[in-house]
Structure 1
Amino acid sequence: MQELIHTMIRVLDEERSLAFYGALGFGEIGRSRVGGDTATVIFLGLPGDGGRLELTLNDGRTEPYEIGEGYGHIALTVSDGMDAELARLAEHGIEPERPPYEAYPGGPRICFVRDPDGYRVELLERNPVDAFGTAG
């Protein structure tokens, strides 16, 4: 394996999902019809990056998906500090599950928001993996 290229989640409402992820800084990179023309996939990316998030809309689906206990979250670092980011997101009606906190002493401040389908998105002031150095 060489690279993790994207994560896919199934969503019900295209407009609400695009508005949510747009507020997080994602832009649409491309879309196509798949599955014998039974679903639409929309690839989203952050500025300067590729299509890292795939939203899949299955035609005719109206019932919410069961997220399941195995799903955890998508994680994003914030660029202007946690407080500024949360203030900006609040303008879009996006509120954290609880106030930012350190998951462990000296760790980055984090908090979680939920997308319109209930998927958790973790916001971090810095990438905790940076403390580990590079693998190699």
Structure 2
Amino acid sequence: MAIALENVAIAVRDLDAAVAFFTDLGLAVVGRDTVQGEWADTAVGLDGNHVRLAMLQTPDGHGRLELFEYLHPEAIETAPTQPHEIGMHRIAFSVDDLDAALATAARHGCHPLRGVATYEDAYRLTYLRGPSGILVMLAQDLRRG
């Protein structure tokens, strides 16, 4: 059986703010839609499912991120996931310039949780809270020139 990762989907409280954050980091919007109807209720397992969504893609074309904002039913706020909690952990991106990526994130009010770490002179990386409290890892491979 062949298998391929299609995308990672994340519910957000403000779709436009989330799209702005991720497109400023370098992802591209490949589609937007409003989804509802019996087929969506069946697929998702939620009656009255109605969302606005945006599909984003990494520049290399290998990674896709689906962001969606619930119109119905009303979205339920939850506490942001902590790094040690079971469940959806974080989304990670490789960047060629961590300082530039952090400057972009800062323009959206998003800053490292603690600071920037260096792992074995191979990576500079950090976790930050993105829009809607999404835990985002940014990593720069120091071995690439």
TM-score band, normalised by the shorter chain?
Answer: 0.7 to 0.9
Distance, in Å, in 1 between the alignment partners of 2:131 and 2:101 is 19
**CA separation in 1, counterparts of 2:63 and 2:30?**
6
For structure 1, the residue ranges without an aligned partner over 5 or more in a row are 128-136
2:51 corresponds to which residue? 39
1:74 alignment counterpart:
91
SS in 2 for 1:111: strand
2:64 pairs with 1:52: yes
Higher strand share: 2
Structure-1 separation of matches of 2:78 and 2:114? 24
> TM-score normalized by structure 1?
0.76
Q: How many residues align?
A: 126
Contact 2:25–2:104, Cα closer than 8 Å, also in 1: no
The worse-fitting range, judged by mean Cα deviation, of 7-16 and 67-76 is 67-76
Q: Specify whether residues 55 and 7 from structure 1 end up closer, same or farther in structure 2 by C-alpha distance, changes over 3 A only.
A: same
RMSD: 2.6
Partners of 2:138 and 2:78 in 1: CA distance: 23
Q: Distance in 2 between matches of 1:110 and 1:51?
A: 19
Q: Which runs of 5+ in 2 are unaligned?
A: 38-48
Q: Structure 1 vs Structure 2: percent identity of aligned residues?
A: 32
SS in 1 for 2:132: coil
Task: State the shift of 1:21 in Å.
Answer: 1.1
Superposed structure 1 runs of 4+ greater than 6 Å apart? none
The answer to whether the Cα contact below 8 Å between 2:98 and 2:139 also exists between their aligned partners in 1 is: yes
For 1:85, the equivalent position in structure 2 comes to 101
2:6 alignment counterpart: 5
The CA distance in 2 between the partners of 1:111 and 1:51, in whole Å, is 20
d(CA) in 2 for partners of 1:110, 1:99: 9
Give the aligned residue type for 1:44: L
